[in-house]
Amino acid sequence: MELAKFLHCTVGKVVAIHEDNTHEWEGPADSVLEPELPASTRERIAAATVQISTKVTVTFELKTKGKQKTVKS
């Protein structure tokens, strides 16, 4: 939106969406936690957490802000 504003345009509809890459991982495995110690709530939450990171590219249409004339007939 800032780039469109700089170019004196407005952002229009989406032209294309492309998912570049995605990574998914879980918290630490049970073997990483010390088995002789009771797992704290934080450790249990970390072990059950799934994290996802993705990079998405979106291409938008740019529209000029030019004044439009209305024609009366």
Residue 6 lies in a domain: yes
Q: Which domain holds residue 35?
A: 2-64
- The answer to whether the CB of 17 falls within 8 A of the CB of 60 is no
Task: Mention every residue, 6+ apart, whose C-beta is less than 8 A from residue 18.
Answer: 56, 57, 58
pLDDT tier at 41, thresholds 50, 70, 90 = confident
73 found inside a domain: no
Contact 63, 9 (CB under 8 A): yes
Task: Tell me, yes or no, whether 41 lies in a domain.
Answer: yes
User: Whole-number mean pLDDT of the chain?
Assistant: 78
Give the residue, 1 or 41, on which the prediction is more confident: 1
Mean pLDDT for 9-24 is 92
User: Which of the four pLDDT bands, split at 50, 70 and 90, describes residue 47?
Assistant: confident
* Structural domains counted in the chain: 1
Which pTM does this prediction carry? 0.48
Is position 71 within any domain?
A: no
Q: Is residue 49 part of a domain?
A: yes
